[in-house]
């Protein structure tokens, strides 16, 4: 068995192996610190994945659970899921991923479009990239009291703050405003993972940056959730747990088509909104917003 790749995201380690001499290509630079960077002290889960260059499963007669605008589809056969990546105009899949809820015997089958042969060696496009890694993590985290959401995130003196929002809400803008502030460390400007541990919730940076290009392999204990809005003045309003939960739903990666992981994520988010204070943050797109937020955090307000 050949070890091809070990990558840790939010305490989940993906170990990619092959029984044949495959060579990975096209590993994005943004993933490098998640491959070679320091492991989180909270790292507690390893998902072993076998990469196969033959025996591609045929999904035609399986039950289709979800179709993401022809880019990828999810099928189910008994307790086993099959994730098929076949973006147009390809006639054959790039990959088919087989997994179950416990993530035992996880296999990625390589389709012909992902393979190339040079001098009797087979190279394959790196499959542990978007969207496969995000989809797998959505399922993995659902069973481990966590989830992935659209949010920027920072650590301020060891205290994590996240800024959830849909595209255009201002995640990259607020990230740029806070980037070089004293005592502030950026986690990400677009995707954050939250996980619940005995010590509380932690926010993790991820390898999927937004417009500001920020994606750090670090984490921080979560101290506040700030739903952001562009505005002509800086102001803040505390939210009730119910309000916070309603705002979290549209920005969280949830498999609404699959009852058990959906239920698990909702339960974790119910715990989250009662454990961590949440606010709406209206901000001007200039340096005054950073000063306003720093003063609010320094006040110790809940």
Domains in the chain, CATH or no CATH each: 2-129 (no CATH), 145-298 (3.40.50)
> Residue 109, Cα to own-chain centre: how many angstroms?
22
Element (H, E) at 3: strand 2-9
SS3 percent helix, strand, coil of the chain, rounded to 5, is 25, 40, 35
CA separation for the pair 212, 154 (Å, rounded): 13
Q: How many CB atoms neighbour CB 198 within 10 A?
A: 4
Using an 8 Å Cβ cutoff, are 72 and 127 in contact?
Answer: no
The predicted-structure confidence for 242-283, as pLDDT tens digits, reads as follows 999 999 999 999 999 999 999 999 999 999 999 999 999 999
Element (H, E) at 35: helix 32-36
Q: What stretches of 19-168 adopt beta strand conformation (E)?
A: 22-25, 45-52, 63-68, 72-77, 80-85, 95-100, 106-110, 115-118, 121-125, 146-156, 159-164
pLDDT of amino acid 173: 93
User: What pTM does this model have?
Assistant: 0.94
Cα 79–197–217 angle (5° rounding)? Answer: 90
CA separation for the pair 52, 220 (Å, rounded): 37
pLDDT of amino acid 120: 78
DSSP at 286 = S
pLDDT of amino acid 205: 96
Report the percent of the chain where pLDDT is more than 70: 97
- Per run of 10 residues, the mean pLDDT along the chain (length 302 residues) is 91 92 90 79 77 92 90 94 93 95 93 88 92 96 96 91 91 92 92 96 96 92 96 96 97 96 98 98 94 89 56
pLDDT of amino acid 301: 59
């Amino acid at each position: 068995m050949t070890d091809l790749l070990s990558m840790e995201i939010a305490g989940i380690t993906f170990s990619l192996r092959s029984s044949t001499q495959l060579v990975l290509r096209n590993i994005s630079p943004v993933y490098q610190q998640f491959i070679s960077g320091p492991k989180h002290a909270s790292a507690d889960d390893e998902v072993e994945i076998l990469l196969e260059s033959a025996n591609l499963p045929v999904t035609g007669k399986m039950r289709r659970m979800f179709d993401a605008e022809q880019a990828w589809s999810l099928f189910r056969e008994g307790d086993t899921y099959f994730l098929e990546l076949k973006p147009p105009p390809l006639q054959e899949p790039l990959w088919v991923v087989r997994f179950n809820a416990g993530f035992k015997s996880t296999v990625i089958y390589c389709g012909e479009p992902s393979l190339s042969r040079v001098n009797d060696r087979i190279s394959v496009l790196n499959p542990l990239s978007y969207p496969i890694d995000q989809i797998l993590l959505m399922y993995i985290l659902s069973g481990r009291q966590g989830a992935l959401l659209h949010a920027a995130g920072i650590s301020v003196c060891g205290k994590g703050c996240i800024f959830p929002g849909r595209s255009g809400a201002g995640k990259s803008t607020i990230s740029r405003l806070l980037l070089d502030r004293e005592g502030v460390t950026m986690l990400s400007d677009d995707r954050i993972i939250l996980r619940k541990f005995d010590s509380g919730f932690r926010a993790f940076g991820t390898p999927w940056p937004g417009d500001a290009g920020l994606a750090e392999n670090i984490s921080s204990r979560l101290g506040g959730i700030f739903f952001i809005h562009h505005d002509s003045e800086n102001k803040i309003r505390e939210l009730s747990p119910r309000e916070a939960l309603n705002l979290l739903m549209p920005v969280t990666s949830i498999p609404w088509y699959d009852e058990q992981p959906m239920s698990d994520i909702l339960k974790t988010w119910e715990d989250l909104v009662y454990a961590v204070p949440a606010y709406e943050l209206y901000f001007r797109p200039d340096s005054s917003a950073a000063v306003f937020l720093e003063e609010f955090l320094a006040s110790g307000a809940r």
